[in-house]
Chain A
Amino acid sequence: MRNYPAQAIDPKAVPYWRCSAAIESVLLLLIPGGYYIAQQHWQHWPTWITFVLLFLTLAYDIFAVVFQPEITWRTWRYEVSEQEIDLLHGVFIKTRTLIPMVRVQHVDTKQGPLLRRFGLSSVTISTAAGNHEIPALADEVADLLRDRISVLARVVEEDV
């Protein structure tokens, strides 16, 4: 394989992912919580399932909050050249994605409320066969990247 794409995504992505995973994990706790309430109500439901559910949820939460953000950040790389957009991501299954610049239809930057708190944006690249996202870049970097791709995509116009 040729050289890996050069750019990493913004380090602030790690606390951002931690934060969003934490919110998600609070919501996930509703599952064992809900079961506990139901079990109190209908006494003949087994109690041990509460603990199994709680254990599974907590295990997942710890993984999602403590380990996953760091690993994901380390495995995400991207590079934009004149001819192509080159993405590499995936923890177990590593996927390298190449998008010819000519095929790019449009580029968007997106920012949810949580992303805004961290000063981050995501960049979405659309082709006729689907979208590709670079998840968390600093606002200025994302804006520059979007403008750059949009200019490049226009320059390398070809017969489509």
Chain B
Amino acid sequence: MYKPQRVHPMAILQFTLRTVYSLGQGLIPLLLIAFAQPEMRRWLFWGLPLLLAFMVAYGILYWLCYVFYISGQELRVEYGVLIKKKRYIPFERIQTIQISAGILHRMFGLVKVQVETAGGGSQAEFVLAALPRDIAAELQHILQEKTQHHEEPGNETEYIEYKLSTRSLLVLASTSNGIGIVLSAILAVISQLDDFFPKADVWGKFAAYAGHLAAGKISLIILVVFLIILLAWLLSLLGTIMQFGGFQLRREGNNIIISRGLFEKHQMSIPIKRIQAIKVVEGLLRQPLGMVSLQVVSMSTTGMKEEGNVLFPILPKAELPGFVEKIAPEFTMSMKLHGLPARSKWGYLLINTIPALIIAILCTVYLPWGYVAFILPLLGAALGNAQYNDAGYQVENNRLLLRSRHLGRVTFIIPKQRVQSMHVSQNPLQARGNLSNLRIAVASSNAAATVQLRGMDIQKSSVIMKWLFAQRH
């Protein structure tokens, strides 16, 4: 540990794959073009294996040059084949240590260790691609012990655990947004089929076949569409189950420790000090089911990815107060909100209906059946009404709660000392009605970590301003 050492040779595979992947992305169009021309194919026959051999050699060199060790109060990594790079990370800069194991890792009894630091950007993160489990555990132990050295020792015996039940996992998977992504991916692949096999004329054959079979029956087309959607849904279901299967969360002293993943195991520890705010999301589909999901706003680089922010993927709303009190009592709040003044309702209604109204009018003028689009302003009005009803705030002790809705309902709990800046703005209309927009900026790895509440009474905004600067007793 204190002498420079290499990671497990399995990492060579990963280094090589990474080069192949990053180079491949750029080369694929070129390769396709080359492949289409007979005289070029011969070149490819020799060139490709050579290129591959070169990449493997580079992978081995990279592995040889990649060493890590601990020196004093720093974790040091030295790497780079042509340009030597050294990265020294002081222990107190380390935000989280994440241990994960993919299928390949598991076959060799290895794990991947990711060390996260505060500075945003993917560069800040560094990865020990493959380590034997015991060495990783030792490293984690040393790093965690040292990083927490100068904190007050938490109750080590305190040990509360939450697990994601199978039922919850199924609800989570079946209501996840993944379906849209998978659906568009499938459609994209299908639409590309023609480009890849220009001679095959996939669509022509498909249409002929369908025409032959159904002899003009529309029901078959509907069936196919239905099957595609079902397939997309099943794939996204599987994706979510693989990602969040076996989700466990526990509070250990001053850390929240999360492990998740069915095949690829992820373990992550979030120091409670690093959490800037807690975000409670009630999606359109999940709100009627009485389910919420919890996220954290933090400065770690894993936070750049959606799943890195998840504190608990799905939880019955009734269990929320108990959960927060046990896992993160630093964020406990009553969920009773102060709503907005009635005069701000107009703003919410107008902003949601006027664009929809313009679209509806244009549709009516230019499209047959265009007047059907008049359903849009109605939906807009309903949304505006819901946004007005759900918006609200609460100030309690040293915490601020803000709730608003775009489509889903989102509630933020922000401790006072996490507020980086506060903005109160008024447009001329709001100035006449003594209304204002309140915006709170918190630190996060994503740029857009501002929480906004539109249509606050200006007096109430002032109260929150005063609260922010009130001396603590």
Residues of A within 8 A of B (CB): 1-2, 83-84, 90, 92-100, 102-103, 127-130, 132, 158-160
B320 at the interface (CB under 8 A from A): no
CB < 8 Å neighbour of A97 from B423, B427, B442, B458: B423
Classify chain B's interface size.
20 to 34
Residues on A with C-beta less than 8 A from B424 are 1, 95-96, 98
B417 touches A94 (CB 8 A): no
State in angstroms the CA–CA spacing of A160 and B416 once bound together: 11
CB < 8 Å neighbour of A94 from B419, B426, B461: B426
Looking at B10-18, B354-362, B462-470, the stretch in contact with chain A turns out to be B462-470
State in angstroms the CA–CA spacing of A99 and B443 once bound together: 13
Given contacts A2-B462, A97-B422, A99-B422, 19 further A-B contacts (CB under 8 A): A1-B424, A1-B461, A90-B425, A92-B428, A93-B425, A93-B426, A94-B431, A95-B425, A98-B423, A98-B424, A100-B468, A100-B469, A102-B417, A103-B421, A128-B299, A128-B420, A129-B441, A129-B444, A158-B417
Nearest chain B CB to A99 CB, angstrom units = 5
State in angstroms the CA–CA spacing of A65 and B319 once bound together: 60
- Give per-residue flags for B422-464: 1 if the beta carbon is below 8 A from chain A beta carbons, else 0: 1111111001000000000111100101100000001001100
B458 touches A98 (CB 8 A): no
B396-427 interface (Cβ within 8 A of A): 417, 419-427
Residue of B nearest to A159 (CB): B417
Residues on B with C-beta less than 8 A from A128 are 299, 420, 443
A99 touches B420 (CB 8 A): yes
Residue of A nearest to B419 (CB): A100
Residues on B with C-beta less than 8 A from A99 are 420-422
Interface hub of B421, B444, B447 (most chain A Cβ within 10 A): B421
Residues on B with C-beta less than 8 A from A97 are 421-423
Residue of B nearest to A91 (CB): B428
Q: Contacts A129-B441, A129-B443, A129-B449 given: A2-B465 contact, CB under 8 Å? A: yes
A1 touches B462 (CB 8 A): yes
Interface hub of B441, B444, B450, B466 (most chain A Cβ within 10 A): B441
Nearest chain B CB to A92 CB, angstrom units = 6
- Main DSSP-derived SS at the A contact region: mixed
State in angstroms the CA–CA spacing of A2 and B462 once bound together: 7
B425 touches A96 (CB 8 A): yes
Residues on A with C-beta less than 8 A from B428 are 92
State in angstroms the CA–CA spacing of A50 and B426 once bound together: 38
State in angstroms the CA–CA spacing of A127 and B420 once bound together: 6
Residues of B within 8 A of A (CB): 299, 417, 419-428, 431, 441-444, 447, 449-450, 458, 461-462, 465-466, 468-469
B469 touches A83 (CB 8 A): yes
B421 touches A98 (CB 8 A): yes
Residue of A nearest to B430 (CB): A93
State in angstroms the CA–CA spacing of A159 and B469 once bound together: 15
Residue of A nearest to B423 (CB): A97
Residue of A nearest to B470 (CB): A83
Residues on B with C-beta less than 8 A from A2 are 462, 465-466
State in angstroms the CA–CA spacing of A148 and B353 once bound together: 49
State in angstroms the CA–CA spacing of A130 and B448 once bound together: 10
State in angstroms the CA–CA spacing of A48 and B295 once bound together: 55
Nearest chain A CB to B435 CB, angstrom units = 12
* Residue contacts A-B, CB under 8 angstroms, 17 given: A2-B465, A90-B425, A92-B428, A94-B426, A95-B424, A98-B421, A98-B422, A98-B469, A99-B420, A100-B420, A100-B421, A103-B419, A103-B421, A129-B420, A129-B441, A129-B442, A129-B450
Residue of A nearest to B426 (CB): A94
Residue of A nearest to B431 (CB): A94
B417 touches A127 (CB 8 A): no
A132 touches B427 (CB 8 A): no
Q: Contacts A96-B425, A103-B419 given: A1-B458 contact, CB under 8 Å? A: yes
Instruction: Give the 5 A-B CB pairs with smallest separation, nearest first.
Output: A128-B443, A129-B420, A95-B425, A129-B441, A127-B420
Nearest chain A CB to B88 CB, angstrom units = 22
Nearest chain A CB to B239 CB, angstrom units = 32
B421 touches A132 (CB 8 A): yes
Nearest chain B CB to A100 CB, angstrom units = 7
Residues on A with C-beta less than 8 A from B421 are 97-100, 103, 127, 129-130, 132
Residues on B with C-beta less than 8 A from A127 are 420-421, 441, 443
Interface hub of A1, A128, A130 (most chain B Cβ within 10 A): A128
State in angstroms the CA–CA spacing of A90 and B424 once bound together: 11
Residues on A with C-beta less than 8 A from B442 are 129
Residues on B with C-beta less than 8 A from A130 are 420-421, 441, 447
Residue of B nearest to A96 (CB): B424
State in angstroms the CA–CA spacing of A141 and B427 once bound together: 31
State in angstroms the CA–CA spacing of A75 and B419 once bound together: 26
Residues on B with C-beta less than 8 A from A132 are 421
State in angstroms the CA–CA spacing of A134 and B441 once bound together: 18
State in angstroms the CA–CA spacing of A127 and B450 once bound together: 13
State in angstroms the CA–CA spacing of A128 and B421 once bound together: 9
CB < 8 Å neighbour of B420 from A84, A103, A159: A103
A93 touches B427 (CB 8 A): yes
